[in-house]
A = this chain, B = another copy of it.
C-alpha cells in the first residue's frame, strides 16, 4: 500500500495535499446554494459540504471557509435569514462549477452563467431552475470550528420541491432518477449508479437487499 504520514505531507506542494486530503474522505454531495442580499443582488455558489444534521426537526448543515475574504453566501444568509439548496445534475454542472470564480461584489453568478433564478412560494432567496431537488432553508445557527476558522452553518429545511416521481412510498428519494451528481476531491464530478438498499440491521438477522 502507498503510505503518507502527516509529516511526509509537508514535503509535497500545498496543491498536491489539497487534492489528496479533499479526496481521502470519499464522495461528497453536490449542491448550489443560492441567496439574495437585502439590496436584491443574487448569489449562487457550488458547495460540496451540504450534510444531513437531523430529521426531526429537519435540519442540514454546510461548511463555510474562513471569512478572511468576501463570502457573499454567508453575508446574504446573515442579512436575510434564508438560502436555498439545489441539487446539481450533469446539465447544470459546468455552470455550477463556474460559480466558484471570484466575481466582483455586485455581480451575480446568475448573470455570468446559464443558471436561472426561480422564485417559489414567495421565498426571498432564488431557487435554481432545472434543478430536480430544491430546498428552501432558514438560518438557525453557526458553529466556528476553531482549529481552522471554518464555520458549520445550520439551517432548517422549510420547503422541499422535487420533480415528479422522485419520492417512493417509503419517503426515500430516488437520486439515480433525479440524476443528482456526487463530487470527489476539489474538482471531480461523478454520476452514481444505484446498487441497492439494505434492510434494517439487527443482531443475528441476515440482511435483505430491498
A56-85 contact mask (Cβ, 8 Å, vs B): 1 or 0 = 111111010000000000000000000001
Query: B6 and A26: CB pair below 8 A?
Result: no
Q: How many copies does the complex hold?
A: 2
Look across to chain B and name the residue whose beta carbon is closest to the beta carbon of A65: B54
In the complex, A143 has a CB within 8 A of chain B? yes
Q: A3-B162, A25-B85 are in contact. List 11 more A-B contacts (CB 8 A).
A: A1-B164, A2-B166, A17-B58, A23-B172, A26-B87, A48-B52, A49-B52, A52-B63, A172-B185, A191-B192, A192-B193
Asked, given contacts A16-B171, A19-B170, A49-B52, whether A24 binds B195 with beta carbons under 8 Å apart, the answer is no
* 28 A–B pairs (Cβ distance < 8 Å), ordered by A: A1-B162, A3-B161, A6-B58, A6-B156, A12-B171, A14-B55, A18-B55, A18-B171, A20-B171, A21-B54, A23-B175, A25-B85, A26-B31, A26-B50, A26-B182, A27-B180, A51-B51, A57-B148, A93-B195, A94-B207, A98-B201, A102-B203, A141-B146, A145-B154, A187-B210, A190-B195, A191-B193, A192-B192
For the complex, give the distance between the alpha carbons of A98 and B200 in Å: 8
Would you list the 3 A-B pairs with minimal beta carbon distance, nearest first?
A: A19-B171, A26-B29, A16-B171
